[in-house]
Amino acid sequence: MLTITQATYDAIVAHAKRDHPDEACGMVVGPVGSDRPQRLVEMLNAAGSPTFYEYDSMELLRLYREMDDHDEEPVVIYHSHTATEAYPSVTDVNLAAEPGAHYVLVSTREHGNNSGPVEFRSYRIVDGVVTEEEIQVVEAFTA
């Protein structure tokens, strides 16, 4: 199960809506081994595409160095789908290189960047196998 704060949930949704009609992408990192998504990092979709996302290689390198310096790891890897459901595509599955991460997909197909609900789903993707998981949204993490 993915446990995420309301503030982080809202920020991911806002990013997806803001970047629509292009796909948004980013990560929520947290302390190594904690499974606690604490720090949202919005990334640039270098592909600038409504159907594909790609991290800027230099931005991604900086983020991984920063995570190494702070003993952090990717807890949530997220991106949006602008015209399809919030389910990993074949490309998404093939690019899933963090077996410990939660892969969050947000579909903005219904309302775009206007107000209105989105489809927000989380998956584990390990060795090409996609498993949807429950999401628990909390106000804050407890100790």
- Entry pTM: 0.96
Q: Phi, psi (5° rounding) for residue 7?
A: -65, -40
| pLDDT, position 142 | 83
Mean pLDDT of 81-105: 96
How far is Cα 35 from Cα 68, in angstroms, rounded to an integer? 16
Closest-CA residue to 45 (of 61, 57, 30): 57
Enter the DSSP assignment of 55: B
Is the pLDDT score of 143 beyond 80?
A: no
| pLDDT, position 114 | 87
| pLDDT, position 102 | 98
Q: How far is CA 110 from CA 40, 85, 107, 114, 117, in A?
A: 25, 9, 8, 9, 8
How far is Cα 29 from Cα 33, in angstroms, rounded to an integer? 11
Q: How far is CA 99 from CA 17, 36, 39, 81, 95, in A?
A: 27, 15, 19, 21, 11
Mean pLDDT of 45-64: 95
pLDDT band at 80 (very low <50, low <70, confident <90, very high): very high
> Is it true that the peptide bond before 21 is cis, omega within 30 degrees of 0?
yes
Angle at 130 between CA 128 and CA 37, to 5 degrees: 105
CATH dotted code for 2-138:
3.40.140.10
